[in-house]
Amino acid sequence: MKKILIILTIYLLVPYLLRSQDIRTQFFPKTELKAENIPDKENLWVFILAGQSNMAGRGLVEPQDTIPSERILTINKNGEIIVAKEPLHFNEPSMAGLDCGLSFGKSMIRQLPDSISILLIPVAVGGSSISQWTGDSIFRKVQLLTNFREKVMLGQRYGLIKGILWHQGENDANQIDIPLYKNRLTALFGKFREISGNKNLPILIGELGSYSENNENWKKINEQIRLYSSTDNNTIIISTTDLKEKGDKVHFNSEGQRMMGQRFADGYISKILSNPDDNK
């Protein structure tokens, strides 16, 4: 009887899982578009997308997220420059979804001269803690800080590293790690800037959302983020209080991801580009 129940459960569950997978990937690009004309180095602005799953993206990719622009580029898993379409992150193919990158790129190019293009380099890994980043741990088959270093070097080969977009903290939202979060941000961002060769490299930090079942601890992580940012003039905090989740109480939905990308761009334009001497 037990064996029959197991077989019946599998029989009923497998079609559901397959349908869920089909829905998640139905608008994923079927082909890559290699970048035919890569701009001169000074005209290609590089942004690194780092953190855990809400930066890696778990939103539903919709048709609007796959409309390319020749001015927004990214890389594939082989390190080749391609035209950006969502999803950008490729290290977790079974979970990949919409992130904020393409929305950020589209918002940026609307506010920049036509001569400037954007190269988005994804390095976020879902579920990674900040101590795993600082310790260069191997997580989900990615050596986090080493991968960051390799991707920065790749970006510098083609363009100018202009900033880091960071969203992380859900895995640190516990009583043990919360008090350590500010100092760990200090250590990690110091390493990021050392690797980039720019001690004033702008880092844009997205707050955790306000929809968690662990909301008090998420608020405490946001307090640590704000406390850190008060010591670092080259950071910008992106508010996410009003953004919605996808139904799992953990990840932003598609609209939230697009809005976060726009806010990253608006923050960069308003603070960094309006005060260029502060970030040299």
Q: What residue spans of the chain are helical by DSSP H?
A: 2-25, 53-56, 101-111, 130-134, 144-158, 181-196, 215-229, 254-267
Which two three-digit tokens encode residue 153? 């070097």
Cα-Cα-Cα-Cα dihedral sign, residues 147, 153, 156, 161: positive
Which two three-digit tokens encode residue 133? 């980043």
Residues 55 and 25: their CA atoms lie apart, in Å, by 18
Pair 15, 88: CB distance under 8 Å: no
pTM of the model: 0.89
Cα-Cα-Cα-Cα dihedral sign, residues 10, 14, 20, 25: positive
Pair 161, 152: CB distance under 8 Å: yes
Which two three-digit tokens encode residue 230? 């008060």
Residue 5, pLDDT score: 43
Q: Which residue has the tokens 């640590």?
A: 224
Residue 6, pLDDT score: 47
Pair 164, 200: CB distance under 8 Å: no
CATH fold of 31-279 reads: Rossmann fold (3.40.50)
Pair 168, 128: CB distance under 8 Å: yes
The low-confidence residues of the chain, meaning pLDDT below 50, are 5-19, 278-280
Residue 1, pLDDT score: 53
Residue 7, pLDDT score: 47
- Say if strands 138-139 and 142-143 run parallel, antiparallel, or are unpaired: antiparallel
- C-alpha distances in Å from residue 2, one per residue of 8, 13, 194: 10, 16, 58
Residue 9, pLDDT score: 44
Residue 230, pLDDT score: 97
Residues 112 and 274: their CA atoms lie apart, in Å, by 12
Residues 35 and 30: their CA atoms lie apart, in Å, by 16
Is residue 81 helix, strand or coil?
strand
Residue 28, pLDDT score: 82
